[in-house]
Structure 1
Amino acid sequence: MLRFDRRLILHFDWVMLLMLVLVSGMALANLYSSTWNGSGSASPVFFKQLYLFVAALFLILLFISVDYIELATFGYLMYGGVVLLLLYTTLFVDTIAGTQRWINLGFFKLQPSEPAKLTLVLVLASCYSKNEVRDGYRIRDLIKPGILTAIPFVLIMIQPDLGTALMLGILFVSMTLFVKLRWSTVGILGGAGLACVLFGWKYLLKDYQRRRIETFLNPEGDPMNHGYQIMQSKIAVGSGKTFGKGFMEGTQGHLNFLPERHTDFAFSVWGEEWGFAGAVFFLSCYFFLLLWGINIALSARDKFGVLLAYGLVMMIFWQAVINLFMIMGFLPVVGIPLPLFSYGGSSLITTMVAIGILMNIRMRRFQTT
């Protein structure tokens, strides 16, 4: 329920807002450059992302107006809604490029797998905070969190979207390891995870997914097909050298050598145009935002706030790490965007809502439970 407290204004998280605007400003500048077609004006893609960013700022205002503790219950409703959207996507949405991921709302294409990450964090934080086990969680204590993770995981795998499905698994592991586990539980989970990887490689992965992993191990073996993206990304980042080629002066992007330059490989364009110095500056701002999120988790007033803040930071952190490693050739191409930086409405709104919840937790750290 909406509550006004003058202390909330005094405790408003200006640091998080400043870092959000700074990182988003660099992202919009990069999108302007990567989608510029030489016509003298910004592309429709740029304006669409700009409008979504402004709309997401209003969503942040909405989420900081409600005490985050109420999300412990409301999160299950959001989770149920996202599961229904995933089911609808699987059963009724037309296939695009071999996948069923987007629901066309006319003015906006919604990808339900993006808010699925956020809602999973909400329900896992609620579940673990309400069912604390002092001696450490056993396997049977993880049945409910496991089921909550497995439902959207399976629905997203069916689409198929291996990268996002794996992100749900990573979030489950990250949040589960954050709570206290028995060593026997860790051993069983580790063995089960290894068995799932072997089984998935042999029976679940499609041919193109296997080729992506094989290309990661040897991109030069197929330079004109599946290894093309990785090689062009490496060229773009490396050609930036120390200070880059200059804003809108990148050749790999503007000469169309680099595919997906405004989505999954957006940071390759930034590295080419701003060089090592620009990359270090951006990453410093980006990871300071995440470190501030960890600080929010440490100062939260209750266990739910701690787990929720930690989970949201991990949601952004792991996507960022996977994307950055992907464009530098250290991980296979799995279609994970760089949150706040890559073009994509569903990803942007989901990440902005996560930032809003983090600000909410920070602003209410002075209140008693």
Structure 2
Amino acid sequence: MTLSGGLSRPGERDRPIIKFMEIDWTFCLLLCLIAGSGALMLFSIAGASWEPWADKHLLRFGLYFIMMIILAMVDLRVWFTLAYPVYGVGLLLLVAVEVVGDVSLGAQRWLSIGGFRFQPSEIMKIGVVLALARYYHGLSADSARFSWRLLVPAAMIGAPVLLVAHQPDLGTAMLIAMTGLAIVVLAGLSWRVIATGVIGALVAIPPFVLFVLHDYQRKRVLTFLNPEADQSGSGYHIYQSKIALGSGGLLGKGFGLGSQSQLNFLPEKQTDFIFATLAEEFGFVGCLWVLALYGIVIFMALRIASISHSHFGRLAASGVTATFALYVLINGAMVMGLAPVVGVPMPMLSYGGTVMMTVMIGFGLVQAVRVHRYTEVTSGKGSLM
């Protein structure tokens, strides 16, 4: 029973059935449409077979969808309490990767615990969002705008970024850095500081590329600038991706008829370059359909952030949304040759359980912000000072 204006009686919103009804099911439907589109593409590029990708893709999504619903029921104050511990555990696991991590394809990114193999960097994508949201929850507007206290979020972002970049995993390091910066900006950072930082970053890019990046990473950047210089070598990925994109035209070649993917000319067709496969088979219209789904999800997630009564909830939901939007932006730019190939998949469309898990945990947090949007998170306990 509710009071006038649609507000529940005190304590009524804590009932599980009320929480369940408060979940945004339209948002859930959009996620199902994106994951379903990914399953169809994986079915197509496997030669009209559910194996080896489409069946696992749908199974993982189903399990993570249930997990998202469960996380949506978790009180926002619990997320607030766990923010620093999650960040701390993630940071310790990243340090553990440096010491005892598994090496695969020349990179040390994985940990194996009891037969379970995972990337701690994925935990940090959520940990950074939670920790920064909690920190800024307890910070005054003036301090968030510009003060010595900004050194704390700078360190909170910089530590995991450096550890992940050292693995090396430039794509994930970029995502963590850009997500962290997005939260700092949304928290109220002065525009003068932002402008100064942008100018400094632009100045630092050339020496960073020349003297900091690994040789293969530097080669990727140079290939991005001139992919036609080595079409059968370092520029092969981008060159084949552009062929797939262009050959699809307006309506595409048809479901299961993409020559670049079906004949295995397109590398990583089920993961990093699945969007190029989509463009080849369904053309410009198919790409617009999927991008529209992504756009609506991002808009709805930001709207959920805007209605939260707590600063922590607003920043946490916005941070998760920023991570998701960056996945889409970076992968789309990479596939079109507008950004270097950095191994960032298209979320929920590409095959892969680790990124899907991170995205769905993040959306569980977004839904928790919606379900508990009237919850007042105690102020003054978010600061590390």
- TM, length-normalised to structure 2: 0.89
The alpha carbon displacement at 1:105 in A equals 5.7
TM alignment of 1:11-50, pairs within 5 A:
11-34=22-45, 36=46, 38=47, 41-50=49-58
Q: 2:139 aligns with which of 131, 148, 161?
A: 131
Instruction: Tell me, yes or no, if structure 1 residue 266 matches structure 2 residue 274.
Output: yes
The alpha carbon displacement at 1:292 in A equals 0.4
What SS class does the counterpart of residue 264 from structure 2 fall into?
coil
Change in Cα spacing, 1:120 to 1:258, as seen in structure 2 (3 Å) is same
Counterpart-to-counterpart distance in 2, 1:244 and 1:188: 44
How far does the alpha carbon of each residue in 1:246-300 deviate from its partner, in whole angstroms, 9 at most, with x for none?
A: 2111110010000011111111111111111111111111110111011111111
| Alignment correspondent of 2:333 | 325
Matched-pair contact (CA < 8 Å) for 1:296–1:309: yes
How far does the alpha carbon of each residue in 1:191-210 deviate from its partner, in whole angstroms, 9 at most, with x for none?
A: 54345434422321111111
| Alignment correspondent of 1:313 | 321
| Alignment correspondent of 1:149 | 157
Instruction: Tell me, yes or no, if structure 1 residue 91 matches structure 2 residue 99.
Output: yes
| Alignment correspondent of 2:19 | 8
Matched to 2:131, the amino acid is V
Matched-pair contact (CA < 8 Å) for 1:115–1:346: no
Matched-pair contact (CA < 8 Å) for 1:230–1:328: yes
Change in Cα spacing, 1:249 to 1:106, as seen in structure 2 (3 Å) is farther
Q: 2:69 aligns with which of 61, 65, 80?
A: 61
Matched to 2:15, the amino acid is F
What SS class does the counterpart of residue 205 from structure 1 fall into?
coil
The alpha carbon displacement at 1:11 in A equals 2.0
Matched to 1:365, the amino acid is R
Length, aligned pairs only: 365
Instruction: Tell me, yes or no, if structure 1 residue 110 matches structure 2 residue 121.
Output: no
What SS class does the counterpart of residue 100 from structure 1 fall into?
strand
4+ aligned runs moved over 6 Å, structure 1: none
Instruction: Tell me, yes or no, if structure 1 residue 159 matches structure 2 residue 167.
Output: yes
Matched to 2:25, the amino acid is W
| Alignment correspondent of 1:288 | 296
For structure 2, the residue ranges without an aligned partner over 5 or more in a row are 1-12, 378-385
Counterpart-to-counterpart distance in 2, 1:82 and 1:171: 16
Matched to 2:87, the amino acid is Y
Matched to 2:328, the amino acid is A
How far does the alpha carbon of each residue in 1:305-338 deviate from its partner, in whole angstroms, 9 at most, with x for none?
A: 1111111110000111010011011111111111
The alpha carbon displacement at 1:43 in A equals 1.8
Matched-pair contact (CA < 8 Å) for 1:64–1:356: yes
Matched-pair contact (CA < 8 Å) for 2:136–2:144: no
How far does the alpha carbon of each residue in 1:215-249 deviate from its partner, in whole angstroms, 9 at most, with x for none?
A: 11111011111111001101111111111112111
For structure 1, the residue ranges without an aligned partner over 5 or more in a row are none
| Alignment correspondent of 1:231 | 239
Matched-pair contact (CA < 8 Å) for 2:275–2:332: yes
| Alignment correspondent of 1:243 | 251
TM alignment of 1:165-244, pairs within 5 A:
165-194=173-202, 196-244=204-252
Matched-pair contact (CA < 8 Å) for 1:89–1:100: yes
Change in Cα spacing, 1:53 to 1:104, as seen in structure 2 (3 Å) is farther
Deviates most, 77-86 or 204-213? 77-86
- TM, length-normalised to structure 1: 0.93
Counterpart-to-counterpart distance in 2, 1:307 and 1:192: 26
Deviates most, 346-355 or 93-102? 93-102
The alpha carbon displacement at 1:342 in A equals 1.4
